[in-house]
Structure 1
Amino acid sequence: MKPLEAKLAVSHLVEERVPLFLWGPPGIGKSSIVRQIADEKGIGCIDLRLSLLDPTDLRGIPFFDQASRQAVWAPPAFLPDGSEPEGILFLDELNTAAPMVQASAYQLILDRRIGEYELPAGWAIVAAGNRESDRGVVYRMPAPLANRFVHLEMEPDPDQWRSWALERGIDPTIVGYLSARPEALFMFDARSPHRSFATPRSWEYVDKILKSTPERELLMPLIAGAIGEELAAQFLSWRSAAMELPDIGALLEGGDVSVPESPNALHVLASLLIQRVGTDTPKERLEHLMAYLLRLPPEFSVMVVKELQHRGVLLEKCDGFKAWIRKFAHLLA
């Protein structure tokens, strides 16, 4: 299941308080999806890393109540206390937790209570974990626990990641590189001995590295530490070849701007145009953009127009849009 579809499915199940387990390889955004849903719904979110807990941490500690002359359980402070009426209790890394911790979680998931504690009615339970084939230390989930969940498996999708990256302002050379080489978005191999590998999360780290403007000699080791040495060398070589770009400001003002010949540069140029143009861009600049897009190679021109339309930019109101349609309509089917 692609990330956007997984997010929609999780959102529906959270509304109905149906427990679900989100499976997927490391670094593809499982926990990010849960946090985004909570933020968008305006509800609480508590992230518990069960691999860090002992069984007593989840169940609580017994103590003697002198009033009732009974032993009662003091629930842990990190569980929802009802101060927020709705929310998501996110049990991350559930299948990496020790079997005894999983057994404690089983009661919470099955009965929505554990010991003296009861989960507030407005809270949903979402769990996540890596697959057994992902080289992590995981414990096979007992069948009774597995049967308490709806199971969804996520996989990365380059097109959806590209749209997300453009909205988030990810460095255009990263977006351009992964548009040209979509297979480089996720290159996890469970058999590889290397510690660093490419995932959507590690490419976001590369963006932060570039924005930190490190010294030139540090760039290669830093990026290699995020995505691996071989891919880092390929990306930096590609980035160097793609940096000869026209002045975007002059382009949007109607200046005489050349069209790059290098496919690498064209990928980066397309990403830059998509990031620089928005719903608040004046119509005059959009007209200059349409005139320039008529000069671009077809696949890059169509890429820019489709993405801008998806983001709500009304190119159809430009005088140059009719000429663009006549030239590229055959590619829009």
Structure 2
Amino acid sequence: MTRPLVAADALVAAVGAWRTEPVRDPKVEALALAVSANLPVLLWGEPGIGKSATMAQLADRLGTTMETVIASVHEPSDFAGLPIVGADPASTGVPMAPPDWAVRLAEAGEGLIFFDELSSAPPAVQAALLRVVLERHVGSLRLPDAVRVVAAANPPASAADGWHLSPPLANRFVHLHWTHDPATVARGLSGTWPAVDVPVVDPARTGTAVAKARGAVAGFLAARPGLAHHLPPDAEGRGGAWPSPRTWEMVLRLLAVHHAAGTRTDALALAVIGAVGDGTGLEFVTYLEELDLPDPERVLANPEAFTLPQRGDRQLACLTAVVSAIQGRTTRERWEAGWVVLAQAVKAGVPDVAARAAMDLATLREPNWTVPPTVDAFVDVLRLSGRLP
């Protein structure tokens, strides 16, 4: 005799069967971009709108395992580690034992750790999560670098016993606001959900991507130094995205992956805003649209033909990108080409901008390399900085 629930379970399985189709969703692309850049991501959204389901599909597309941890039901010791007293603690100390999910990720060597209901976790638990999120330390165990961290949170108004995130924890995440599209939900429940695409980095573009990213971030912050760090005055703002040296490093990573993988600009914009906040992020995205940096590798291939941009922030961004490209692959020929580029900047009447790049370029010189004549324009500033005897 067939048990009553067997047929019911088969029906439930049929209802849960679905397929995917390639439909663009910028917020999902921003999530995949941040995960590819190995940055902690925090998905903000109301309950029941598909955050967990998207994470499951992302793990499937990455071909990796996912561990889900409900942060709100754990104690601080679950993340800081439980003390285990050994035979001789006076000489060996007391190790902090990690939980089982951390051990499984360490043994796998990679994976996604998904902290759900983060905003419902009390401040003591949030404090214990700091090292887990940024440094991947769980007790005495360090998780592999390939382990990605994603969290989800409901706004405090809709979270059970919700709390604002502490500023140190909030500043460790790329914040993405998760919403639902009724048309997407309707099509999904009919059996077809949007697919999650993962960026694929082209190794051949890595050097140029890093150089262009460094140039863009350096140029922007040189023009807008007040945006390097700004802690919002209100608790709600401090619990979200805001600019700091840490989050600008996040932007640097996002921009490098964007250039190397060819992701879309609207996904990049969402991720950048999620790192440094709405106002600062929008200003930086607008700056990127107007920047139009030349390829530093093409500049180095023909430095005599280089023409410096007219705008001061673009000038610094361009020269920073060139020096960064040389730093990524330093040879005598490329180093000398860099000095030709800086000489062109001096001829254009901006020796002060060129001098900043010259100090960095000088540090890349090998002892047996002859100093080119173009260095003469920077001798005084290099001597003052200690780069030349």
TM-score range, shorter chain: 0.3 to 0.5
> Which structure has greater helix proportion?
2
Please report the TM-score for the alignment, with normalisation by the length of structure 1: 0.46
Please report the TM-score for the alignment, with normalisation by the length of structure 2: 0.40
